[in-house]
Structure formats: structure tokens, C-alpha cells
Amino acid sequence: MTICFYGADEVPYGCFSNFSDHGFRLDGVWWPTSEHYFQAQKFNGTRRADLIRRAHTPLRAAELGRDASDPLRRDWERVKDDVMRRAVAAKFHAHADIRDVLLSTGDEEIVEDTTTDHYWGRGRTGKGKNMLGRILVRTRNQLRA
Ligand SMILES: Nc1c(N[C@@H]2O[C@H](COP(=O)(O)O)[C@@H](O)[C@H]2O)[nH]c(=O)[nH]c1=O
């Protein structure tokens, strides 16, 4: 059966959300959530990236990352999937408890169940790319290998 997730507080699969409270060290610094890492990489090496890393909540990090007043790095569309892969891999390497939850999903499909995001999730039509779900599946395969 397909595994659906969205809200970070849902049990047991809320830990698949980038908003879940699972920090990690990556690129030499501490990131409070994978959302912080993902959003900050849109502006890597700038003051805004640091501001995002220090945001008090993942929602605030997302707001700062989506605020269009500073330009995104020019290669963002090309690198964003890799950025997400790195964030998700670092998170699940850092936390054995959620690694077990991910591995416990066997070979099931994993879907970010949101009507508002047609790229990272399944989107309004249900036919979205579900890139975050796919990255979770790939991370699961790598952890198992
Ligand atoms: N889980 C979750 C969201 N979804 C997350 O938003 C990120 C994509 O951001 P962007 O590419 O800037 O649109 C990605 O991590 C996706 O999983 N958004 C929210 O506002 N609230 C939430 O609880």
C-alpha cells in the first residue's frame, strides 16, 4: 500500500517531511531541518543563506527561501534535486530511529500527499512528480544496499 505523508507531526511517517525536527551536520555546519538546508542552498554563500540556516522554524526557513526579493542562484533548477537528495540522505544517516521507519516501508511507494505542490509532491491532480517521495525511495534503497 502506498505510504502517504505530509505534516511533520503525523505518526509514524511525519518524519519523512522536510519540516520534521531532525537536524544534521552537512557542509561543515549544523542544519536544524532538511527544509533549512534545502531553502538555504537557493542562496548558497550569501547572507540570506545564513539567515535561513538560523531561522527558528522550518516554516520560517521556507518563507525566507521563497521570498523573491533576492535572486536565486542561477543554476538552481539544475541542482535542486541533488540538493534535496543530499539533505534527505544526511538526515537519515544522522538518525537511526527514523532510518528504521524508512526501512520499515519495504518496497512501498512513498508519496508527499499535498495538493499544493506538483513538483515535490503529488499535487492537485494527483499526477504530480512526487520528487520528494521518489528521493525517499532512492534513499531507502541506498540505506539497504
Ligand atoms: N511539508 C511542507 C512543505 N513542503 C516542502 O516545501 C519544500 C519545497 O519548497 P519550494 O521549492 O520552495 O516550494 C519541500 O521541502 C517540500 O517538501 N511546504 C510547506 O509550506 N509546509 C509543509 O509542511
15 contacts 91 by C-beta, under 8 angstroms: no
pLDDT digit string (tens) for the chain, length 145 residues: 999 999 999 999 999 999 999 999 999 999 999 999 999 999 999 999 999 999 999 999 999 999 989 999 999 999 999 999 999 999 999 999 999 999 999 999 999 999 999 999 999 999 999 999 999 999 999 999 9
Is 66 a pocket residue for ligand 1 (Cβ < 6 Å)? yes
pLDDT of residue 11: 97
Q: What is the ipTM of this complex?
A: 0.86
Q: For atom 5 of ligand 1, which residue has the closest CA?
A: 18
27 contacts 13 by C-beta, under 8 angstroms: no
Q: What angle do CA 1, 134, 77 make, to 5 degrees?
A: 155
Q: Is residue 4 within a helix (H) or strand (E), and if so which, with residue range?
A: strand 3-5
Best mutation site among 21, 35, 84 for ligand 1 pocket (most ligand atoms within 8 Å of CB): 35
CA of 139 to the centre of ligand 1 (A): 18
pLDDT of residue 26: 98
110-112 and 24-26: which strand pairing? unpaired
Rounded CA-CA distance 92/57 in Å is 19
Q: For atom 19 of ligand 1, which residue has the closest CA?
A: 59
